[in-house]
């Protein structure tokens, strides 16, 4: 019996020594080989990521500026992007709400230089403004990309001045969360949405002060102008949802601002009231059928305007344009502004209880 126990003990010792030897061998292999492979992998991945994102920031950071807009009562800060250099005149695009009501506008460049800016023009509907400044130092306009080529999941970098000049040039990194997102905005703070804006959605942080800043791809190309107004319009207490005006939407607006100081849009030559906002008393007073809840009631008309020339009159209710139903002012603006001056459209109105079509040449 004792002999059997001795044999079992010897067997267990041999087994344990074998396991321990195997473990020591594996540790030896890991110590002398695996760390090298692991280090190479980490080094390669880190270097690739570093070179992509960091070189992008290095390339475009000097093209983004901080903007201060002041009047006698209030002041605001935002961001802007240098898009063009013509001799010593620099053109900077920003959001219209950044410089709204500003009597003086100051641009602070990445090199710390502060220069007074001139407002070339702004457009409230698209929330874009164009500034010009004169400088005696070298600046680098940003390269313009093509927002129609942007893909969901693509890496992007947002650069701006969140919370003011103390954080000028702040960078956030993320992806394109969605393309061709439609955001409804209330431009006059009356509780009614006035316009639908097509945007790029990103999870890169967009905060107060980022408005007017750059959203760029990893090629260092501008693909959008970030807007805190759009981010706020998407809902309250929402994180990871930033929005930018696509560069392809920006370019034609900026060209008109540079040429005219404003955006030329077609006009019908009328003023109206949204029927859905009328009370029963107002409908009775204005002669609007009580069961009519859609359309735009014409309350004044330019006698030399497009609508008057087509035979449309005060008291008519615009119910559709080119067959598209008009329920709200947003519908009206969206359809009307999809056209250009001199375009011919078909306007359907409710006139004394009868639907009538008018052919209108826009002005």
Beta bridge partners of 176: 202
Q: Nearest CA to 95 among 257, 219, 274?
A: 257
Beta bridge partners of 77: 68
Please state, as a whole number, how many other Cβ atoms lie within 10 Å of the Cβ of residue 119: 17
CA pair distance 98, 334, nearest whole angstrom: 24
Catalytic-labelled residue, pool 69, 127, 172, 316: 127
CB contact at 8 A, 225 and 247: yes
Q: Nearest CA to 61 among 87, 76, 79, 84?
A: 79
- What 8-state DSSP symbol labels residue 196? E
Q: Provide DSSP, 35-63.
A: HHHHHHHHHHHHHHHHHHHHHHHHHHGGG
Q: Is 13 exposed, middle or buried (0-12, 13-18, 19+ CB in 10 A)?
A: exposed
Chain centroid offset of residue 115 CA: 26
Q: Provide DSSP, 225-279.
A: EE-HHHHHHT-TT--S-EEEEEHHHHHHHHHHHHHHSS-------EEEEEGGG--
> Residues for the chain: how many in total?
363
Is 97 designated active site?
yes
What Rg value do the Cα atoms of the chain yield, rounded?
31
Catalytic-labelled residue, pool 211, 227, 231, 320: 211
The token pair at 140 is 């680098």
Please report which helix (H) or strand (E) contains residue 34, including its range: helix 34-60
Catalytic-labelled residue, pool 69, 97, 147, 316: 97
Is 186 designated active site?
no
Report the catalytic residues. 97, 127, 211
């Amino acid at each position: 019996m004792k002999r059997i126990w001795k044999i079992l003990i010897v067997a267990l010792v041999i087994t344990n020594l074998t396991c321990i030897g195997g473990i020591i061998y594996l540790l030896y292999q890991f110590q002398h080989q695996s760390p090298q492979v692991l280090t190479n992998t980490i080094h390669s991945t880190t270097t690739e990521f570093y070179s992509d994102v960091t070189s992008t920031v290095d390339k475009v950071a000097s093209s983004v500026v901080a903007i201060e807009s002041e009047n006698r009562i209030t002041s605001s800060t935002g961001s802007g992007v240098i898009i063009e250099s013509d001799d010593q005149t620099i053109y900077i695009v920003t959001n219209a709400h950044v410089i709204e009501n500003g009597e003086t506008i100051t641009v602070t460049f990445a090199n710390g230089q502060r220069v007074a800016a001139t407002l070339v023009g702004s457009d409230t509907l698209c929330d874009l403004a164009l500034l010009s400044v004169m400088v005696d130092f070298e600046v680098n306009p940003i390269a313009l990309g093509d927002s129609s080529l942007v893909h969901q999941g693509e890496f992007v970098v947002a650069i701006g001045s969140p919370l003011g000049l103390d954080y000028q040039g702040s960078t956030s990194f993320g992806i394109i969360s969605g393309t061709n997102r439609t955001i409804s905005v209330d431009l006059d703070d009356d509780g009614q949405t006035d316009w639908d804006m097509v945007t790029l959605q990103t999870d890169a942080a967009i905060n107060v002060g980022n408005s007017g800043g750059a959203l760029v791809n990893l090629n260092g190309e501008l693909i959008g102008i970030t807007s805190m107004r759009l981010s706020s319009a998407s809902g309250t207490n929402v994180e990871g949802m930033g929005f930018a005006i696509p560069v392809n939407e920006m370019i034609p607006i900026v060209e008109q601002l540079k040429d005219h100081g404003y955006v030329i849009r077609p006009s019908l030559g009328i003023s109206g009231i949204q029927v859905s906002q009328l009370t029963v008393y107002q409908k009775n007073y204005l002669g609007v059928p009580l069961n009519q809840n859609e359309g735009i009631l014409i309350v004044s008309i330019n006698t030399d305007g497009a609508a008057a020339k087509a035979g449309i009159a005060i008291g008519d209710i615009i119910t559709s344009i080119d067959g598209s139903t008009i329920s709200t002012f947003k519908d009206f603006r969206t359809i009307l502004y999809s056209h250009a001056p001199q375009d011919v459209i078909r306007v359907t109105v409710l006139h004394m209880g009868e639907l009538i079509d008018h052919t209108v040449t826009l002005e």
